[in-house]
Amino acid sequence: MPHYGGRLAAVTAALAMSVTTGAISPAFATNQHGADERHTDKNPTATGYGGAVSTVDPEASAAAIDVLRHGGNAVDAAVAAAATLGVTEPYSAGIGGGGYFVYYDAKSGKVSTIDGRETAPAGITHDAFIDPATGKPYPFTPELVTSGVSVGVPGTPATWERALERWGKFSLKKALEPAIEVADRGFVVDETFRSQTADNQKRFEAFTSTKDLYLHNGKLPEVGSVFKNPDLADTYRLLADKGMDAFYDGALAKEIAKTVQNPPKSPDTKLPVSKGSMTEEDLEHYKALDQDPTHVNYRGYDVYGMAPSSSGGTTVGESLNILDVFNLPSLKADQPAVLHHYLEASALAFADRAKYVGDPAFVKVPTEALTDPIFGKERACELDPMHAAIKPLKTAGDVTSYDGTCPVKPAALADEKDTENISTTNMTVSDKWGNVVEYTLTIEQTGGSGMVVPGRGFLLNNELTDFSTVYDPADPNRIEPVKRPRSSMSPTILLEDGKPFLALGSPGGSTIITTVLQTLVNRIDLGMSIPDAIAAPRASQRNTKAVTAEPAFIDKYGAALTSRFAHTLTPSGDSFSSASEIGAATAIEFLGDGRTLAAAEPVRRGGGSAMVVKPSK
């Protein structure tokens, strides 16, 4: 294997010196030596030349930088980072999941995208989420998410292959080398990895394969220990040698289908672990889709995002079109007023998302109307600059008849129940040629379905829980065979005069949309630097009765938003952990002097990792 960054030999030697005992799994090693050879330091900002990267993990960022330094471009680096995240952030990403890839090509000046969203198996039924014993939907957690029926056909491997075919300089084999190295030598366990394992302990104990990998002898990995995944390293080697056909057709495909149809249940688990219907043929027929991005113009910036099956591009775009009607920069001294507009615009766009957005192969999605500035102007008629509307809003905009004037004649609103989970990951990459990648990928729930494919080292997703739980023929996000569930992933690239200005994205389920939107409002309308725009406390209004807000947001803005604008705020948090954070953004801003500024979270998810090829002061 070619040498990357001079680390492998040193790490191997260091590992030979480290002390292990027979009681320690091959996945764990005491970190007495060799930690200095691993990437553990997290710097949330970096400025310089020659290319940049921002991810949630220093090993993934280092993999991308190594690729850039060895002649790879942004696409090669993004695939290398994504594969490494499959090792170090396995509960958020990996080859058992899917995602959306947005690419700016410096030579053509064009933005393109790949839809690598998972699909439902051909054999899925409309009542797949209904417990036959009770006739009622399975409880969402842990029963529904921890099951074969929740697993969609993975799209991440096909996305990597397609991106490299279209725009990469490296082969898949070369792009996977850094991740193989990390999987072999291991990475240092941090508090986030341990706490996520603890949060999922009951689910992981339900499967023999998962327990063996992540809970050796029933114990959680210790902070500071080294976690190795030789099975995943071997799986990556298989894909490197044979290509992605080895994932979608062959022995591995058979093992994935078997895991879904007959989950490797532990004999003592009390979870029902329903069986899924995915077959080898479902895997063989999967395709990552080339498609055009969404596009709106916001205060002179061309904003490109992900079209359906993601709702990110349409909902962020519509929100910006609504906000563009108001002169928010003139209000930047009054931050609560600007945030009020942001929250109300988001609620309006989410009402339209619920009514209209699903997989365009099954639903006629009015993408052009939803991103039309005239439609946005008409929806802005519903935004009261002085008072929050009562929510949830009962009506959606009429995409069949609009002219930008008030009053609006609303259409009926389809009810929306948010089942998207917060665990996803995002990366932003640029190279010395000016190409840019914004890539969001996920396995859905923290820990996905909880099922590791035996002997293969990766978790399968539970993305099908993004479908509406109860089948409704009028619901654009209803369950259908071979359909892609609606997503909120919102990888976004902004151009100014045809050149990159800013690229950003985030994990966070349906709060991805609001995280990206609020970061743009912070940066463009409130004039914050991009590091400050990312670090600022967040709130999310998704057409719900109350605004979900981080405690710091409530402390800073709650009184004003409540007393002046009649908002109701509730602290953020989720049912799977004690986390109160909203999102974990990454971004790169392109400075006027030729430098790039990479920015990641300073605190959320333990902080992110920003790096550049050639640092500058």
Active-site annotation, residues:
424
β-strands 45-55, 187-188 pairing: unpaired
Distance CA 195, CA 529 (A): 31
Exposure string of 266-278, with b = 16+ CB inside 10 Å and e = fewer, is beebebbbbebbb
For residues 605 and 537, what is the distance between their CA atoms, to the nearest angstrom? 14
- Find out whether 78 and 64 touch, Cβ atoms under 8 Å: yes
| CA dihedral for 246, 252, 257, 263, sign (positive or negative) | negative
Where are any strands of DSSP class E within 155-244?
187-188, 226-227
User: Where are the extended beta strands (E) located within 262-384?
Assistant: 289-291, 294-298, 301-305
Q: Which amino acid is located at 610 in the chain? A: A
Q: Map tokens 């170090």 to a residue.
A: 88
Helix, strand, coil fractions of the chain, as percent rounded to 5: 35, 20, 45
3 state DSSP class of 245: helix
Give the N- to C-terminal CA distance of the chain in Å, as an integer.
35
Q: Cα(570)–Cα(554) distance, rounded to whole angstroms?
A: 8
Q: Residue 608: which of 57, 194, 190, 41 has the closest Cα?
A: 57
Lookup result for tokens 């902080």: 607
Cβ(438)–Cβ(491) under 8 Å? yes
Report d(CA 162, CA 156) in Å as an integer: 10
Token pair of 540 as six digits: 């999310």
Orientation of helix 312-323 relative to helix 335-356, angle to 10°: 140
| Cα–Cα distance, 309 to 151 (Å, whole number) | 17
Q: What is the CA angle 414-305-588, rounded to 5?
A: 135
Amino acid (one-letter) located at 133: A
3-state secondary structure of 267: coil
User: How far is Cα 175 from Cα 441, in angstroms, rounded to an integer?
Assistant: 17
What are the φ/ψ torsions at residue 373 (nearest 5 degrees)? Answer: -60, -25
| DSSP reduced 3-state for 115 | strand
What one-letter code names the amino acid at 299? R
125's tokens? 């039924």
As a whole number of angstroms, the distance between CA 235 and CA 220 comes to: 24
Residue 255 sits at φ, ψ, to 5 deg, of: -70, -35
Is 110 in contact with 499 (CB distance < 8 Å)?
A: no
CA 551 to chain centre: 23
Rounded CA-CA distance 457/51 in Å is: 31
Rounded to an integer, what is the distance from CA 388 to the centroid of its chain?
30
Supply 109's token pair.
């000046």
